[in-house]
Structure 1
Amino acid sequence: MDLQTQPFSDFFLSLMALFDGVVHFGQSVLSPGWRQNQILILLALVALAWVLHRITGTMLQNWVRSREGWSKWQLRVVVQLRRRLGLMWFALLAGGLYQVMQNVTWPSRSYLIGLAATLAAIYVGIAFAARLVRNRPLRRMVTWGLWIYATLYMLSVDDDVAQFLDGLALNIGEFRLSVLAILTALVVIGALLTGARLISTTTAATIRKNEDISPSMQVLAVKGLQIVLYGAAFFIGVRAVGIDLTGLAVLSGAIGVGLGFGLQKVVSNLVSGVIILLDKSIKPGDVISLGETFGWIQTLGARYASVVTRDGKEYLIPNEDLITGQVVNWSHSNDFVRLDIFFGTAYADDPHVVRKLAVDAAQGVDRVLSYKAPVCHIVGFGDSSVDYILRFWIKDPTGGLTNIRGNVYLALWDAFKENGISIPFPQREVKVVEDSHLALSRRAAASDLPD
């Protein structure tokens, strides 16, 4: 493995040539003439663009605040537009002035102004186009990379820089990796990944709208599509820039073994997620109970499942726990759920009347299914009450279980109170023995009272 040293001498020569060019340009700017005049004009345009940016930015902000019902993407567009108003104003002012000067004076007297206007317009276009990349660090890298490339291209030094970067190479046997290849691969892969994300997003929306595909298969199809598209984008991007991956086979194998030991839980969760999607045991929208957690599946991810409870808490449960643990799926085969509540009445009340009142009360509660009629049975004779069980069915467990039980209990209370049915509670009688310590204390206290 060796790092080529010849490019360093070329870099030194290029650096000296660049330094000489900067010095020459500085001297020409300091000397009176049209080049100096163009620089002064550009500085004036920058100041004017900044003033217009402040004025129009405030006007745009006030106008947006007066509007209602705007979606998030519209507000994001306005925010991005407001941030770049200064650059947009500069591009418009410089471009308009350049067109005027091209017609009234020599073209060489407006070259710098035209170059600045073109670069400003390109910067604005790149800034908006880079918003397609969601990842913020990658978006900044793409933005700055395109800005630098556009600047070098407009200054006609891109070939020299590319030759220099290609000369900075790392050789490992027959494998050669240059800085230019790395930068090109990053740009190409970033563009391909952005295209893959757009395709996967559009296709995923189409898959989710297809009601003939079950929710679990929809998730599996979307995940599989993303893996294929992103993987293909990466390998195509690497091969497109001429990087041979066979030279890194041994190194990647060693890294893969190390990652295999360190990421056992991650791999287990990934495999468990695929199994869950294939066997359809759990799917988005199912109501499940896992330990003390009760809620419905909101999303199924590659590593975890998102379970939202009735109180708004969102639990991220690893897929492995859903495979190895005991999970109660309230809506696995269908959405019907039977609920049981227990109550008791006094022995003096007719059990036949109590059962009929309980069934009628349950049928009058919303969400209780009438075509799967509630039933009420005696389950025992307690110490102070006749014990009953009332069973009824619902079809929307996502609406909650505690609230429907409470409504049925309240309906029972109203029905029993209206028909004179009593709900007994334990009562205790306390008798004081005459010769006990408490009785003697009371007698002593009574004797001490004045007549």
Structure 2
Amino acid sequence: MTEELLPETIWDVIAAFLERADRIAELVLTPGWRQYQLLIVLGLLVLAWLLKKATETRWENWARARAGWPKWRLRILVQCLRRQTLIYFMVLCWLVYLVMQQVTWPSRSYIIGVVATLATAWLLIAFLARLVRNGTLRLLFKWSMWIYATLVALDLVDDVASFLDGVALEIGTLHISILGILKAALLIGVLLTTARLVTQATGTALKRNEDISPSMQVLLAKAVQVLLYGTVLMMGIRALGFDLTGLAFLSGAIGVGIGFGLQKVVSNLISGIIILMDRSIKPGDVISLGDTFGWINALGARYVSVVTRDGKEYLIPNEDLITSQVVNWSHSDRFVRLDLNFGTAYDDDPHKVRAVAIRAAEGVNRVLDGPGRKPVCHIVGFGDSSVDYILRFWISDPTGGLTNIRGHVFLALWDAFQDEGISIPFPQREVRVMNEDLPVSVSEAKP
């Protein structure tokens, strides 16, 4: 836009606003049905407030009795209770408007119809704004939509749109105006909210599908999320008036620069995709990586969240899970075999020791006793002071911990051996002096 046209456009819009303001003032100040409609609107507003005061307690008691409703329905009910006055006012305005349309001239209820439309729009916008999580974005959404609804009801959209479109920046064929920026912001806000809702619904539906593995559920959910948000970004750029073909070379150059600076980030992203595709680990698996032992809480785009038994949450980069040796205790199934080594004295019957050890292990709660998973005990050697055994048993809940179940089995062995008179030897050393003629002197250290 040139500098010569800018003042003319602004003055034209200001003149149009002043003319519309004069018309509204004339409608309000001129005696007749216009003023009567305004008085009716004020009376309906007072009546709505009185109805709210009279029924507020009854509605709250009724709402408390609906405790078993789903959460989304309870949220809507809470929003309705907070806006009782507006709801009563909207209903009363529409009733009066419809009655006056039938019994008198349509022009005598025009203002009431505009107010009813505004009340309805404000109520719907208030409910839709609850879908926006961010408080600042929610406030901007509500005010922008309320202003737009008011302009539509007062038939001022064209005048405001021409003014906002006139204030623009032109670079060659690129035309960026305030109107275009507002439209793009509104479009991006709506699309982002829609993308978030669709992503959540898709994730919930995938989790309910038992035919899809947990890792594939995460992969599909991430793919849908990237696709939706990428589409929102492209549509937002197009809405601002940018030509995407002209940005292809620039985006390629920027991509090369970012690639060198973000090698680790890209490596973790690619590793995360590989992990999801080959299903080597999935949420709920129990893994060991170095000194870290815990179960996978979540699979992220850059890292894997592992929660240990002591409540610590480790964020392990995806690249480490690809390049390092990982022990997955529940990869193919959740059955884990544990081994305990112990020894008994040579005077104890080994057949009895094996039977007592197996019986003691079977008495522990988490130890499995089904076919193919029964505890077994074997002799593994004859030591210097004891006969050495190994006790093997299975569990199906490695997330419950490994150290504690070993401790329970050791304690059961101790109690069983005490009851059966089986001893657990310890090394003993006997020192003999072979040449008794050698003098033996004992010196005390001086303080």
- Common fold, TM-score beyond 0.5? yes
Q: Deviation at 1:136?
A: 5.1
Distance in structure 2 (CA, Å) of the matches to 1:335 and 1:4: 75
Q: Deviation at 1:75?
A: 2.5
Deviations, residues 158-197 of structure 1 (Å, cap 9, x unaligned): 1222222222222222222222223323333444444545
Q: Which amino acid aligns with 1:374?
A: P
Q: Deviation at 1:95?
A: 1.6
Distance in structure 2 (CA, Å) of the matches to 1:239 and 1:105: 50
Find the counterpart in structure 2 of residue 91 from structure 1.
90
Contact 1:3 1:168 in 2 (8 A): no
CA pair 342-73 structure 1, distance change in 2 beyond 3 A: farther
Q: Which amino acid aligns with 2:376?
A: V
Name the stretch that deviates more: 383-392 or 143-152: 383-392
Q: For 1:374-385, list aligned pairs within 5 A.
A: 374-378=375-379
Q: Which amino acid aligns with 1:117?
A: A
Query: Is 1:167 equivalent to 2:140 in the alignment?
Result: no
Q: Deviation at 1:43?
A: 3.2
Query: Is 1:302 equivalent to 2:301 in the alignment?
Result: yes
Q: For 1:398-437, list aligned pairs within 5 A.
A: 398-423=399-424
Find the counterpart in structure 2 of residue 273 from structure 1.
272
CA pair 67-296 structure 1, distance change in 2 beyond 3 A: same
* SS of 1:418 mapped into structure 2: helix
Distance in structure 2 (CA, Å) of the matches to 1:168 and 1:40: 39
Q: For 1:55-70, list aligned pairs within 5 A.
A: 56-70=55-69
Query: Which consecutive residues of structure 1, in runs of 5 or more, have no partner in the other structure?
Result: 429-434, 439-451
Find the counterpart in structure 1 of residue 438 from structure 2.
none
Deviations, residues 113-133 of structure 1 (Å, cap 9, x unaligned): 221111111222233344455
Find the counterpart in structure 1 of residue 223 from structure 2.
224
Find the counterpart in structure 2 of residue 353 from structure 1.
352
Distance in structure 2 (CA, Å) of the matches to 1:288 and 1:5: 72
Query: Is 1:155 equivalent to 2:154 in the alignment?
Result: yes
Q: Deviation at 1:201?
A: 4.5
Distance in structure 1 (CA, Å) of the matches to 2:262 and 2:2: 34
Query: Is 1:318 equivalent to 2:317 in the alignment?
Result: yes
* SS of 1:341 mapped into structure 2: strand
Pairs aligned (count): 434
CA pair 362-102 structure 1, distance change in 2 beyond 3 A: same
Distance in structure 2 (CA, Å) of the matches to 1:268 and 1:181: 38
* SS of 1:334 mapped into structure 2: coil
CA pair 378-240 structure 1, distance change in 2 beyond 3 A: same
Q: Which amino acid aligns with 1:419?
A: E
Name the stretch that deviates more: 96-105 or 2-11: 2-11
Deviations, residues 390-441 of structure 1 (Å, cap 9, x unaligned): 221223323332343233233323322321224457899xxxxxx9979xxx
Find the counterpart in structure 2 of residue 25 from structure 1.
24
Contact 1:3 1:170 in 2 (8 A): no
Q: Which amino acid aligns with 1:341?
A: L
Q: Deviation at 1:300?
A: 1.3
Q: For 1:45-444, list aligned pairs within 5 A.
A: 45-54=44-53, 56-133=55-132, 137-236=136-235, 238-239=237-238, 243-249=242-248, 252=251, 256=255, 259-260=258-259, 263-310=262-309, 313-370=312-369, 371-378=372-379, 387-423=388-424
* SS of 1:246 mapped into structure 2: coil
* SS of 1:245 mapped into structure 2: coil
CA pair 347-161 structure 1, distance change in 2 beyond 3 A: same
Contact 2:16 2:159 in 1 (8 A): no
Query: Is 1:13 equivalent to 2:12 in the alignment?
Result: yes
Distance in structure 2 (CA, Å) of the matches to 1:88 and 1:255: 53
CA pair 262-366 structure 1, distance change in 2 beyond 3 A: same
Contact 2:340 2:390 in 1 (8 A): yes
Deviations, residues 225-255 of structure 1 (Å, cap 9, x unaligned): 3322332344356547864223444654565
Distance in structure 2 (CA, Å) of the matches to 1:61 and 1:258: 60
Distance in structure 1 (CA, Å) of the matches to 2:35 and 2:425: 101
Q: TM-score by structure 1 length?
A: 0.80
* SS of 2:339 mapped into structure 1: strand
Distance in structure 2 (CA, Å) of the matches to 1:131 and 1:195: 13
Find the counterpart in structure 2 of residue 35 from structure 1.
34
Distance in structure 1 (CA, Å) of the matches to 2:101 and 2:351: 103
Q: Percent identity?
A: 63
Distance in structure 2 (CA, Å) of the matches to 1:169 and 1:46: 41
